[in-house]
Copies of this chain bind each other. A is one copy, B any other.
């Protein structure tokens, strides 16, 4: 790509371009952080107004039935399902990703524990570079189970196959690495794990809404994920959990709250898990945050994940190419895999002053984020980013680097 005009030409032929209008995008900002917090659908503000002023303030308690609040986790799960290769009735939107991972891991370990041939397995395989909270949750759960489980932390994706062996109870992986954007082979790893007798939990935090996921086609077991990144559900919007239909009858998890009960209003003093995916629910959900998830999902219904993936790869290809050619004089090192089949929808570059350069970018209106150590992370969200945005972002990056317009010694502030 040799000029900004070439990028504008790409924008003019972009079939997803009209969807940009569905979002509120602040003037003068190039937002490359939709992989951390997605932008606001225009519909979100009016949906929140309706929910607060009509459903809560006016209709009050009646809205649990009248406005369908009680059914929201399943309704939203049904809308989300096609984006991850799942069917209606297999997904609920509820709680946080961490808590849903806890449920899935507990259920998976229990299924293995009940199988005489596998009850002795004590290993949970994951990557050392997995998003830390996933590892923390596995540590938390396994420390609390008296029989104890051991985490096997794998250092590189290439070592995963060998690490999954006859001692492995559960494999717990994030599909797209939050730092490097390395995309794991969901189908291949699942098949290998099954062949070894292990169950697999996939964290789709950086893949749901970013690229096609084929859970059922891959014969996957469990998945969890996030709705506030690529799915634009709003800050901290509730997460999701998917359970393969074949595991639903045996799906049991310790967070057995009343929303997961077979008869939540019968007020029985004994827990009886609900049928189907509802048994993954626990307590009352934050309705305002939950309802806003629908605004983002409704935009996805206007396109499909193949089109999104195609543009995502074009955007990340363009960004890598422009940075490597235009900023070649500067010590930037690509962290993200170059092959398409190994890459998610964000791109990370290492720079010795990565934190400072990122702060300078943000001051100039290019919002990416920083991850230890030295990594500048740029997210590419095909629904609302333009090819010309990519050009402009690299333009500003180049100017900052050429003029050394950053403060290498500035204090680091925590970033989310």
Residue positions of A touching B, CB distance < 8 A: 24, 26, 29, 31, 33, 36-37, 39-40, 44-45, 48-49, 52-53, 55-58, 60-65, 69-70, 95-99, 102, 106, 128, 132-133, 135-137, 139-141, 143-147, 153, 228, 234-239, 253-258, 261, 264-271, 282-290, 292, 362, 367, 369, 371-372, 413-416
Contacts and interface: CB of A to CB of B under 8 A. Distances in A.
A414 B69 CA distance: 13
A48 to B, nearest CB: 5
A329 to B, nearest CB: 29
Contact of A60 (B26, B56, B256, B265): B26
Nearest to A96: B283
A98 B286 contact: no
Contacts of A236: 69, 284-288, 290
A287 B140 contact: no
Contacts of A290: 236, 286, 289
A272 to B, nearest CB: 9
Contacts of A53: 24, 40, 45
Contact of A286 (B261, B289, B414): B289
How many copies of this chain are found per oligomer?
2
Given A255-B140, A269-B153, A63 B99 contact: no
Q: Which 4 A-B pairs have the closest CB atoms?
A: A96-B283, A286-B289, A98-B283, A140-B256
Contact of A95 (B39, B95, B362, B369): B95
Contact of A255 (B58, B137, B268, B367): B137
A128 B269 CA distance: 7
Contact of A26 (B57, B264, B269, B287): B57
Contacts of A60: 26, 29, 31, 33, 37, 39, 367
Which residue among A64, A369, A413 has the maximum number of chain B CB atoms within 10 Å of its CB? A64
B56 A136 contact: no
Contacts of A415: 64-65, 265
A144 B144 CA distance: 9
A52 B254 contact: no
Nearest to A139: B271
Contacts of A141: 254
Contact of A136 (B137, B235, B256, B367): B256
B98 A282 contact: yes
Contact of A288 (B56, B99, B235, B253): B235
A366 B99 CA distance: 38
Contacts of A266: 372
A254 to B, nearest CB: 4
A268 to B, nearest CB: 6
Given A26-B60, A65-B416, A236-B290, A255 B99 contact: yes
A284 B136 contact: no
Contacts of A371: 267
A144 B178 CA distance: 31
